[in-house]
Structure 1
Amino acid sequence: MADDPDEAPQLDVPVGMFEDIEDLKAQVANLTALVKSLTGGEGDEQSEAPANQEEVVGGEAAEGEEEWQYPPLILLLDPPEYDDELRALIEWVEGVLVPGYLAEPSADARWCHLWFEHPVAVARLHACWLAWQELTDPASCGYTGPSVWHRDHLDPCVRELRGSSGPFVGCTRGEHQIEHRLPSTVPSAWNQNAM
């Protein structure tokens, strides 16, 4: 091979690497836009950066597209939003989580078939489900997402729910006791009328 300066060197670059770079560019653009929205978009120089970055990414953010909203804590939703979210959560818990991950309940691994009546369980399972939605999508998290979901979300959630001090501690096989975990007062931060 001659040392011709005009000849491009042959590089063995994995095809997926270019997709990863484009994903990183999109994430940087999204984070920049998020920082801008959180800081109120102060500074003319900074306000032009997200638009330029979106152009570099290839215009992935379509014009007129709504900015993505973070999902709220399910316990803060009012009907009918709460009912819709709970219905979807029940489908996931009963269709994916229970048959795939939860073995027969025991004294050391409690489970309540009426888990959706336990606010603590609903809140934890909803958070776990939101993480599952994000971390099982290779387009947004790559191929390590499911591993991260198991380690950082599923395992701690199941440990807390099924543990000896979890929300199902008063529920035994065939018996359901919801009153054992309900607080007597609602914390003021959750009481919207207190503000």
Structure 2
Amino acid sequence: MDSSIGRFSTATVNSEAPAERPAEEQKPPELVYGSAEEFLHEQLLPTYVRDVDGRAAKWCLEWYFHPEALSRVEALWRAWEHLRLNGATGISVWWCDHADHHMNVLLDPRGPFYKCDMQKHRDPDHLEPKKAPEGWFPDVSLQS
């Protein structure tokens, strides 16, 4: 059995809610993976297998240099850690609402890795819009 799938199965089975205890005594559930990178290598990529040929799907071997990819992989990891605790539909929700959406964007040939190929990373172009006129977007954090 694939160890990454086994880790998921164990996490799901052992994730039942503890007996009723006051909220201050309940500890948050332990994470299965210690980082988004560990999650990517041990859970996501071994289970989300696609033919990455550069035409239908692209990936950058140095994915961590792409801010959008970092954010999306982090979001996938955190959503997985939360939804794995729902033994009924959590993993299905994760696949449908998170993995399929984010991975389709990441693997899209026009997505964040559009300049890269499987041998070479190329820095992405960044949008550099003009700043809006002063006062156009008031700082709402200063309002009480």
TM-score, normalization by structure 1: 0.49
Shift of residue 187, structure 1, vs aligned partner: 8.1
- 2:41 aligns with 94
Query: 1:168/1:186 Cα in 2 relative to 1: closer, same or farther (>3 Å)?
Result: farther
SS in 2 for 1:142: coil
Q: Give the number of the structure with larger relative contact order, counting CA–CA contacts within 8 Å between residues 6 or more apart.
A: 2
CA RMSD of aligned residues (A): 3.0
Counterpart-to-counterpart distance in 1, 2:41 and 2:131: 30
Query: 1:58/1:173 Cα in 2 relative to 1: closer, same or farther (>3 Å)?
Result: closer
**Pairing 1:183–2:130 present:** no
% identical equivalent positions = 31
- 2:50 aligns with 103
Q: Report Cα offsets for 1:5-57 as digits up to 9, x if no partner.
A: xxxxxxxxxxxxxxxxxx7xxxxxxxxxxxxxxxxxxxxxxxxxxxxxxxxx9
Query: 1:167/1:186 Cα in 2 relative to 1: closer, same or farther (>3 Å)?
Result: farther
- 1:158 aligns with 103
Q: Report Cα offsets for 1:66-91 as digits up to 9, x if no partner.
A: 9x7xxxxxxxxxxxxxxxxxx71111
Counterpart-to-counterpart distance in 1, 2:50 and 2:20: 47
Gaps spanning 5+ residues in structure 2: where? Answer: 1-16, 29-33, 133-141
- Greater percentage in helix: 1
SS in 2 for 1:99: helix
One-letter code aligned to 1:114: E
TM-score, normalization by structure 2: 0.65
Counterpart-to-counterpart distance in 1, 2:131 and 2:77: 25
Counterpart-to-counterpart distance in 2, 1:133 and 1:124: 14
Larger radius of gyration: 1
